[in-house]
Structure 1
Amino acid sequence: MTIFKLCMLTGLALISSMGAAAQAVTPVQTMLGDAPSVPKNIVIMIGDGMGPAYTSAYRYYKDNPDTQEIEQTVFDRLLVGTSSTYPARVSGYVTDSAASATALATGVKSYNGAISVDINKQPVPTIMEKAKLLGLATGVAVTSQINHATPAAFLSHNESRKNYDELALSYLGTDTDVMLGGGQRYFPANLIEKFEAKGYQYLADFNQLNTVTKGKVIGLFADVQLPWAIDDQGSHKLSIMTAKALELLSQNDQGFVLLVEGSLIDWAGHNNDIATAMGEMEEFANAIEVVEQYIRKNNDTLMVVTADHNTGGLSIGANGEYKWDTSIIRGVQASPDVIAKDALIDGDWLTRVTLNLGFEPNEDEQSQLTLARMQGKEVMTTAIKQLIDSRSNTGWTTVGHTGVDVQVFATGPAASLFAGYQDNTDIANKLMSLLPKVKSQPNK
């Protein structure tokens, strides 16, 4: 960073220390030593739905209330720029995950619902496909099903994100080295047999992941989505999948491109569920730090982190009050969905709800919960979310997406390319420009 010294002897003149050292360098980049100018490996990390309010909320959620300082998070440390997210003109200003992932994977704007096809529904090459042609390894690690919109746009092509079965089948032809996440529902036994015939190791048990030390792998650890992090505390599934993907992909001497998605941040946002959203943010932050540690040991690796869009219109503070109570959110011990399910079981349900919430509802709140319980699990879940919002003073504007710009975070070789404002297509084009120009010959 350019250093300015105040020269008191000559008034308020500023003298800058100029020279080669004047180029802006982040603290993390400084620790990388003499890193190459172009990365060998690229890690793309997407916090699905993670608009700016989410990273700010996470900072306050993680803040130590016993200190005067508000501590920085990994997002504060790695922030370099912003990105617009709008889709092709035909879909207006507010994108869905498919159109945004298409932009991030191909550098081309398309309509909402498109999986790496243009507005005429013609396939557009993805960064993963280009990397494969150049001899690099590729992989995805996500908390949704692996054939959900974001990973699908990096690996395949389809006119609709909803064609889950077609997308699952198409993965056979991608030659992707590592695919980790959920989605057993979309990969029947006969399809898995075809993957195994192509040399893939198939895992349905997360505990088997540590047994894989080399080769191609497809790991499907849930019927659809992985468990909410708040209900699966201590398991760190996204972080472990990320570490395993790095371990396997790094065995390719030519380099690799890895996509990691904190998919369920978005799903919690759609649910207007602040406690679950913060649990997903924490696990995504943990996964970023896994990659950050990898980069400290492998300074030829670039990490770029962003969001595909903002979800839910999260508001830190609401109802005209200037406050946001993170102690309420930190005290919640399970997702509202799990708390509601448990509340429907006979017995002293209110005591169990109180323990899971981490605070005791007052008389009015107890009456509202009792009425909601009589109407079933869905109504009870909504009542619990609204109670947490009311107590913490959390606001939401929608159960859908919004059109605000999102943040961009980066470290490693060429991280400075992503500084300042850019469009999501710019991110893709910059990343693709960093791929090798020709296929390298493998070392013998």
Structure 2
Amino acid sequence: MSTDTTANEGHGTAPRAGRGEGSWGDPGRAEEAIALSARGIPRNVVLFVGDGMGEDELTIARNYLKGADGRLILDAFLFTGSVTNYSVTAGDPTRHNYVTDSAAAATAWATGAKTYNGAIGVDAFGMPVPTLVELARERGMATGIVTTEEVCDPTPAAMGAHVAHRSGRGPDTMERCPDQATENGGPGSIAEQLVRTRPDVLFGGGAQYFRQTVRAGEFAGRTVLDQAAAAGYRVITTATELAAADAGAPLLGLFGEEALARYWVGPPARVDRGPAAVCRVNPDLPADQPSLARMTAKALEILDERAEGRGFLLQVEAGLIDTAGHDGDACGMISEVAAFDAAVTVGLRWAEEHGDTLVLVTADHGHSAQILPVDVESPGATTMLLAHDGEPMLINYATNLPGEILVHTGAQVRIAAHGPSAASVLGLGDHTDLFHLITRTWKEADNRVAD
């Protein structure tokens, strides 16, 4: 079966396992990974997040892209485990919510604090908690945030902002978090706070929020883009400008008014099952939209130079897995997993060249898709695709009534690691453990310097 590879730019493929050999048949690779994990303390940390990338989404993408016996780069990590991802109740963190949203999940690993759905960088009582990006900057490290979603979306926002509700993306959307509004003496919207936090690299969509006007304070009457310019940011908006950018100034890459476009399109999920189909290139894909792999490569290049040997922290998110899941868009979801796999390939190659970089891969929550037998009469809506081997694959969406927005699931999700300290990622943990793993490596580095 032939499928366009636009979404797979830079896409690496793990060796396809023979049926008699198995995926675990390379002791040399295992010994190398174990030795690298024990080598010491990472100077750099790269965290890859597949938003809504549950095991079902991974399996669907693998089947379509590689076939049932194929492997993604995401499958090549030796050190793997799972993480729980529940949130808690606002005002009472002893009461669990078993299905998280992206805001609470990202806040958990960004701050180490469990919080309520919708919260960005605040605990269950609405109090701001320092984030990994803020702590890294205090250490003199370079920092970066990359996403295919809007940069004010929950996963990137939780690394550098503190608002009571995720909807407070720009000065004009602060209705649900009035205490943070600048006109009420607060720190401002997510866009304003991200500029103030000043990661060295901030790439994604969401330019619309940076065109909004600041209501009060030093930049009252001016746009958030003006605030970014005053903070020293160079603003870029196309893949061409991204390729030409250097490390002379912090970079604000706004590559779309909203989220970036999905690479592939295909038949929408429907109650009356349609014929088996293949995905095709999105005809509305902007010609100069950068891929996630290219954004990742540029971020690594810039951060390595700006870190000047002090190390860096980078978070890279494939945000469109989630939005495609909400829409029941199997082809959009698959193409974003492919783009994510390509970005992880870039990160792994960079880490292998440098040797002092911990690469972490996880998801914030599961989502709405599942694979069912092709002859089943299932509830909900379905999409039938022809997988890599030409066989039909029935994808079912039933986490809400047909025609309604599909919702997350509460299952644990995968975590994987490669590099120094990667062996810490084994068995079952929680999103908050990511925060403690990363900050523990920083404390160990400080202790080594003190000794």
- CA drift of 1:205 comes to 2.3
Does 2:155 correspond to 1:150?
Answer: yes
Which residue does 1:114 correspond to in 2?
119
Does 2:317 correspond to 1:312?
Answer: no
What do you get for the CA RMSD once the two structures are aligned?
2.9
Separation in structure 2 between the aligned mates of residue 34 and residue 164 of structure 1, nearest angstrom: 38
Q: How does 1:217-256 map to 2 (within 5 A)?
A: 217-230=251-264, 231=282, 232=285, 237-251=291-305, 252=307, 253-256=309-312
Q: How does 1:123-202 map to 2 (within 5 A)?
A: 123-165=128-170, 166-188=189-211, 190-202=223-235
Which residue does 1:279 correspond to in 2?
335
* Structure 1, unpaired ranges of 5+: 1-21, 332-358, 360-390
> TM-score, normalised to structure 2's length?
0.73
| Structure with higher helix content | 1
Q: Note if contact 1:143-1:181 (Cα within 8 Å) is conserved in structure 2.
A: yes
- CA drift of 1:192 comes to 1.2
- CA drift of 1:283 comes to 0.3
Query: Which amino acid in 2 is paired with 1:42?
Result: V
Query: Which amino acid in 1 is paired with 2:229?
Result: E
Q: Note if contact 1:97-1:150 (Cα within 8 Å) is conserved in structure 2.
A: yes
Q: Note if contact 1:135-1:439 (Cα within 8 Å) is conserved in structure 2.
A: no
Secondary structure of the residue that 1:155 maps to in structure 2?
coil
Which residue does 1:328 correspond to in 2?
386
- CA drift of 1:287 comes to 0.3
Secondary structure of the residue that 1:302 maps to in structure 2?
strand
The structure that has the greater radius of gyration is 1
Q: How does 1:342-381 map to 2 (within 5 A)?
A: none
- CA drift of 1:26 comes to 3.3
Query: Which amino acid in 2 is paired with 1:75?
Result: L
Q: How does 1:31-50 map to 2 (within 5 A)?
A: 36-50=39-53
Q: Note if contact 1:315-1:396 (Cα within 8 Å) is conserved in structure 2.
A: no
Relative to structure 1, the CA distance from residue 25 to residue 429 in structure 2 (aligned partners, 3 Å threshold; closer, same or farther) is farther
Which residue does 2:17 correspond to in 1?
none
Query: Which amino acid in 2 is paired with 1:179?
Result: L
Separation in structure 2 between the aligned mates of residue 291 and residue 28 of structure 1, nearest angstrom: 18
Q: Note if contact 2:233-2:251 (Cα within 8 Å) is conserved in structure 1.
A: yes
Q: Note if contact 2:144-2:315 (Cα within 8 Å) is conserved in structure 1.
A: yes
Which residue does 1:87 correspond to in 2?
87
Which residue does 1:102 correspond to in 2?
107
- CA drift of 1:197 comes to 1.9
> TM-score, normalised to structure 1's length?
0.74
Percent same amino acid among aligned pairs?
Answer: 33
Secondary structure of the residue that 2:261 maps to in structure 1?
coil
Which residue does 1:410 correspond to in 2?
417
- CA drift of 1:34 comes to 9.0
Aligned length: 355
Relative to structure 1, the CA distance from residue 292 to residue 100 in structure 2 (aligned partners, 3 Å threshold; closer, same or farther) is same
Separation in structure 2 between the aligned mates of residue 52 and residue 196 of structure 1, nearest angstrom: 41
> Of 310, 313, 317, which residue of structure 2 is paired with 1:257?
313
Which residue does 2:74 correspond to in 1?
75
Which residue does 1:375 correspond to in 2?
none
- CA drift of 1:392 comes to 3.8
Output one character per residue of 1:184-204: Cα deviation in whole Å (capped at 9) or x when no partner. 110017221221122110112
Relative to structure 1, the CA distance from residue 97 to residue 327 in structure 2 (aligned partners, 3 Å threshold; closer, same or farther) is closer
Q: Note if contact 1:53-1:316 (Cα within 8 Å) is conserved in structure 2.
A: no
Query: Which amino acid in 1 is paired with 2:191?
Result: A
Output one character per residue of 1:31-73: Cα deviation in whole Å (capped at 9) or x when no partner. x869741100000110000001111222211225xxxx81221
Query: Which amino acid in 1 is paired with 2:360?
Result: V
Q: Note if contact 1:35-1:299 (Cα within 8 Å) is conserved in structure 2.
A: no
Separation in structure 1 between the aligned mates of residue 126 and residue 383 of structure 2, nearest angstrom: 47
